[in-house]
Amino acid sequence: MLGRRHGRMTRVALAAVLLLSAALVCAADSGPREAADRSWAGRALPNLMTPVWTATVANLDVGLDAWDFIGRPEASFSPDAAVLPDLTGVQVRDPRTGRMLHDIPVGEKVGDVALAGGVVVAQTRANSARNFDFRQLRAYDLSSGRELWVQDMYSSHVVETGRYSFLGATAVTSRGVVFTAVTGEMIGLDPRTGRTRWTRSSACSNGTLSATENMVVVVCEKGPLLMVDPENGRLYSTEIPGSVVDVATTPDAVGVEWTSADPTAPNPPRPLPRTTTVVSGPRLVIDRVDGSPGHLVQVMGRQAILAGDGELRAVSLARGAELWRRKTEVTIAPGGRSVGSEDGVSAADGLVLVNGANEETQPGTTSLIDASGRTTPPIAWPVSGQFAGAIPGYVLLVSHTAQQHRFTALRLDRETLPDPRLGGARPSDWPDPCRLLTPARLAALGRYTGFPAKPSPFAERTRLPYSDRCDFAGRHPFSLRVAWVAPDRAAAETLTQSLLPGPPGVWQAGPGGYQYRGMTASAPPVADRALVARGRFVIAVFAPAQVGLTERIARLLQADRPPGPADAFDRAAVEKAVHDRGFAPLIQMSPPNPGPLRAVYADCGPPACGQVFLFEGDRLVGAPPGESAERPYYQDVQIVRQDGDTVRLAAAVVPPGAPCCQVEHDLIDLRMSDGGLMYRVGSGPWRPAPAAPHRRWPA
């Protein structure tokens, strides 16, 4: 993503993307802590992850798929705050409750954010700027939310402990902010005033940038490891006697994995011999760990936790001896960051978190390991997504839904569960996928016969009573897969929505069904897949190249869906109102909608065509104002927030007659007043909303 000019350092960053630490615990200046955090010592490890809050932020410029996070700016998490970039603002929330502490209006597009020493640093760019051209750094006081300073500096990314980028990024620590140019020159900034403290000439022209809690870390492509004091620019160097393969930072240590072999040789040895050098403080080399040990996850007391080759190892830093070794039960996930550690393995609260990748349409998992090597089975996430961060007692995920990114905080709990790997369900709760359609409903599709498919690795590992997939042979073969069994119907619907790619690639297929395009590299996307929430079950449908058949199956699976409460949102009426205007609706079930006003995202197919309809109950009350062939129209409408009384939209405004170029994003608030729809743009006055056409493109 960052270009070929970085040469072999690209491979270093790609290695760093796989397994590194985002540990969020207190640090010490002089070296690793003398004793490990023992908050879980002697107690049963958690075996349940309970959602406690969610927060949504708008996308940057483009609609992305659930598995493509390349354009999402970095959030930052600490025990003090969850800092979320939100299109043209910054949300600062209580990380345990989700309560909004500050909703900071920036007025420009916001990229990465980082938090250290009570200061939030964000990269920003003009609303009209294209791509990811962030040319300003801004700092805000965490306690008050007020702006501290603005500096005109181009920064490719903003990094902190556990996050990585190439030179050309900005590092944030509790002792100062350091801006680096792509050529390696450095400028040290006072975090409270933004004033330049010092400048330093190029350390190296090709390297990786990261940080501990107190020091800026630069690892040159062939070494050395440089630690820079952010207060005065003093530089400390540790020799790395080989080619750097991987870099990991924790709050109080750095791990550099290197090889004495030449990885670019025509026939390099396989596997490459590797050594990990662990450094703490500005000078102290704790130890060299030989034997291809893997990536540093955390330093706990006098042991280093390392991850690699499907295993976690604890190594004594005093003797280099292995203390314990554990195999990982799942495929380790690359995580949710667009650059940096990717947090497949992380640490918080004295625990190592091994985060497993989603398996097709199933949620991800986290296994917990303490400093003694005690471990849990993979604990299922109640929502799908990617790992975003951790603080003591909480894991934070990010998923993509309805033109937004949704952050979810999961609390680590201890409950009496039959099997933590099933998230509250029992193996006997899982149905036979070959019997999800009754004989009569199967006959309505034609002459089909179902055959149990080979169980997935998950089904085999958890010893489910049936295969989790059934293949149906007939005129147009299709398959059904039980993706998950949730604790209740509401949990199944929430999980279903979190598993979907974002619109405009999703259509409603019944009250609890969603049809979406399959993504292939060799053929145009076809809407031949669906996810259905049926009671506690999440069911995946796949009918290759058969769009109509996929929809029929999805609706048949919901034929016995019980009616909702009398005062529930009338989905059928809303679907009809949207369909009558030439759109396909995607009705969001979450975040919760406590009031009468609801925003419904809709799509009308190519050319790029999206819309938001506003309903009061099942009555259509309007759409965003200002769209017509003569007035500016909205290319990219995003539902930023909906709390029942007010809906906030972000819209990329396109001048009349212009091509698809996005010019700027407007924030539009809408609410009902005396039976009429009111709107305001930004922080402007409230006005009555004019009638808006419900077709974006003229016939």
Contact 536, 483 (CB under 8 A): no
Provide block-wise average pLDDT over 10 residues at a time, the chain (699 residues).
29 28 28 42 81 81 40 86 91 95 91 94 80 85 96 92 90 95 91 96 85 92 88 90 85 85 78 77 58 75 81 81 84 37 53 76 86 89 87 86 77 87 90 96 95 91 92 96 93 87 74 80 78 95 95 93 67 80 68 68 62 79 63 64 77 62 68 86 83 50
Structural domain boundaries in the chain: 61-239, 423-558, 571-688
At 574, is the secondary structure helix, strand, or coil?
helix
Which residues face 89 on adjacent strands?
86, 105
Consecutive H or E run containing 496:
helix 489-499
**CB neighbour list of residue 381: distance below 8 Å, 6 or more residues apart:** 49, 363, 364, 365, 366, 397, 410, 423
What's 260's DSSP letter?
Answer: S
CA dist 467 and 489 (Å) reads 22
Length of the chain: 699
Q: What is each CA distance from 571 to 130, 343, 595, 598, 611, in whole angstroms?
A: 38, 39, 16, 12, 17
Q: How many CB atoms lie within 10 A of CB 547?
A: 16
Going 271 to 273 to 278 to 279, the CA torsion angle's sign is negative
Which residues face 227 on adjacent strands?
217, 236
CATH T-level topology, domain 61-239: Methylamine Dehydrogenase; Chain H (2.130.10)
3-state secondary structure 246-257: EEEEECCEEEEE
The full DSSP string for 506-540 is: EEE-STTEEEEEEP-SSS--EEEEEEEEETTEEEE
3-state secondary structure 610-652: EEEEEEECCEEEECCCCCCCCCCEEEEEEEEEECCCEEEEEEE
Consecutive H or E run containing 369:
strand 365-370
Please tell me the number of Cα atoms within 13 Å of 166 on its side-chain side. Answer: 22
At 352, is the secondary structure helix, strand, or coil?
strand
Query: What's the whole-model pTM score?
Result: 0.83
- pLDDT computed for residue 535 by the predictor: 93
Residue 193: both structure tokens together: 């005033």
Contact 663, 636 (CB under 8 A): no
The position carrying tokens 């354009």 is: 71
- pLDDT computed for residue 253 by the predictor: 86
Consecutive H or E run containing 681:
strand 676-681
Consecutive H or E run containing 279:
strand 275-280
Please tell me the number of Cα atoms within 13 Å of 463 on its side-chain side. Answer: 2
Radius of gyration of the chain (CA): 26
- pLDDT computed for residue 602 by the predictor: 73
- pLDDT computed for residue 687 by the predictor: 87
Residue 322: both structure tokens together: 């292995």
Q: Nearest Cα to 398, choosing from 412, 410, 388, 411? A: 388
The full DSSP string for 155-206 is: -S-EE-TT--EEBTBEEEETTEEEEE-TTS-EEEE-TTT--EEEEE--S-SS
At 493, is the secondary structure helix, strand, or coil?
helix
- pLDDT computed for residue 632 by the predictor: 57
Q: What is each CA distance from 446 to 62, 303, 435, 438, in whole angstroms?
A: 41, 63, 16, 13
Q: How many CB atoms lie within 10 A of CB 241?
A: 12
What's 559's DSSP letter?
Answer: T
CA dist 344 and 333 (Å) reads 5
At 479, is the secondary structure helix, strand, or coil?
strand
- pLDDT computed for residue 575 by the predictor: 79
The position carrying tokens 């179902």 is: 450
Q: How many CB atoms lie within 10 A of CB 259?
A: 19
C-beta pairs of 280-283 under 8 Å, 24+ apart in sequence? 280/31, 280/32, 280/252, 280/253, 280/254, 281/29, 281/30, 281/31, 281/252, 282/215, 282/227, 282/229, 282/234, 282/236, 283/227, 283/236, 283/238
CA dist 318 and 124 (Å) reads 45
Residue 186: both structure tokens together: 């450095």
At 354, is the secondary structure helix, strand, or coil?
strand
CA dist 90 and 106 (Å) reads 7
CATH number of this structure's domain 423-558: 3.40.1000
Q: How many CB atoms lie within 10 A of CB 351?
A: 28
Whether the upstream peptide bond of residue 51 has omega within 30° of 0, thus cis, is no
Q: Give the dihedral of Cα atoms 568, 571, 573, 578; nearest 10 deg.
A: 140
- pLDDT computed for residue 32 by the predictor: 34
